[in-house]
Amino acid sequence: MAEFTLELNDDQKQVRDWLHGFAADVIRPAASEWDEREETPWPVIQEAAKVGIYSLDFYAQQFFDPTGLGIPMAMEELFWGDAGIALSIVGTGLAAVGVLANGTEEQIGTWIPQMYGDPDDVKVAAFCSSEPDAGSDVASMRTRAVYDQAKDEWVLNGTKTWATNGGIANVHVVVAVVDPELGSKGHASFIVPPNTPGLSQGQKFKKHGIRASHTAEVVLEDVRVPGHCLLGGKDKLDQRLARARERAASGGERVKNAAMATFEASRPAVGAMAVGTARAAYEVALDYARTRTQFGRPIIDNQGVAFQLADMRTQIDAARLLVWRASWMATTGKAFTSAEGSMSKLFASETAKKVTAQAVQILGGNGFTREYPVERMHRDAAIYTIFEGTSEIQRLVIARTLSGMQIR
């Protein structure tokens, strides 16, 4: 088991500096253009693939870093570059985590490579969980998966929404209801292979922020997938459903569903994304405050500005520490007995919103224009308190964990 440390080793520092260079030299110069275009930045993704950042091998190396700091370190540096482009680069990872969390070794080896493609023909993947009437309330999910035993196929019907890469993905990972009577415990995850009939893109959303990341509805109409596309396999599903029925009958402990297993694994990573955006805005504001002169002196010479910057840096560092702790705990198998994963996501996402707003304020009128990047960073930061569990849901998870009560 890796000892907890706040000091990156030489290999981690080398990776961090490499990612920072890519973010500074490739992502940042393209950020404004792709934000305005509101399109997937395929050329940037391809550049990331060519240098090895957008690849299964890279994310596997970071995911299996024994200290747990590989993924949060990578997320922070990429999102320091630009949140929208970075999400286009790492969005496939959520689908990959869904397969890693629930799939068999064969499924992992078969499908994750197809999610990324290769540098000459890059692909993306989508994780499809949210629905028009079931976001945070996963128990209200309506997308159904019915098993056709005669053909050993699952038939999927429903509509998913807020899907990163939805409709343009090579591989879709879809969470569906297999036993409605069990609520959120009756869910399972399915691979929908490329070019499967019946899957189509619904509306593409025009968003407030992260506009370089494609977000859309995914419509499933009699989508048939082979039995081996059920993540984990049918035997495992039948066993899990049987245990859930027994526990439901006896009032026993809850069973985690497939979507929640994915979200639990990814929440500290989302916190790291928020830290990267907050850090970027803080650095712009600090540089501006040092060079902007009013009344014959730099504005940082005023306590009103200097104290804001002091608070911004303190909150960013505190958020990073919470993210690193949760990531280390997850990697070393320590249980989130106080909902440490949700804590990290909650604090980091709220910090990003606050810090980017303060950065806009420090830049004044300039901060309100698109000539300066803090305006975009502030719009981008709004998503962190919403996706993969709103701040209110994170507080609910934390409160339930601490109290042992089903707080509503």
Reference 96, options 337, 255, 266; nearest CA is 266
Reference 76, options 12, 119, 32; nearest CA is 12
Rounded distance, CA 145 to CA 156, Å?
5
Rounded distance, CA 185 to CA 248, Å?
10
Find the catalytic residue in 105, 131, 388, 392. Answer: 388
Report CA torsion sign: 138, 70, 273, 22.
negative
Q: What is the DSSP secondary-structure string of 220-269? A: EEEEEEEGGGBTT-HHHHHHHHHHHHHHHHHT------HHHHHHHHHHHH
* Residue with the two structure tokens 């606050």: 354
CB atoms within 10 A of CB 335: 8
The b/e string for 156-194 (b: 16+ C-beta within 10 A; e otherwise) is bbbbbbbbbbbbbbbbbbbbbbbeeebbbbbbbbbbbee
Does residue 114 contact residue 146 with C-beta atoms inside 8 Å? no
Q: Which helix (H) or strand (E) holds 372?
A: none
Rounded distance, CA 31 to CA 33, Å?
6
Q: How far is CA 115 from the centre of its chain?
A: 16
Is 253 considered catalytic here? no
Rounded distance, CA 261 to CA 42, Å?
30
Hey, what amino acid is at 139?
A
Rounded distance, CA 158 to CA 206, Å?
22
Does residue 46 contact residue 119 with C-beta atoms inside 8 Å? yes
Reported in sequence order, the residue ranges of 25-114 that DSSP labels E, i.e. its strands, are none
> Which residues participate in catalysis according to the annotation?
388
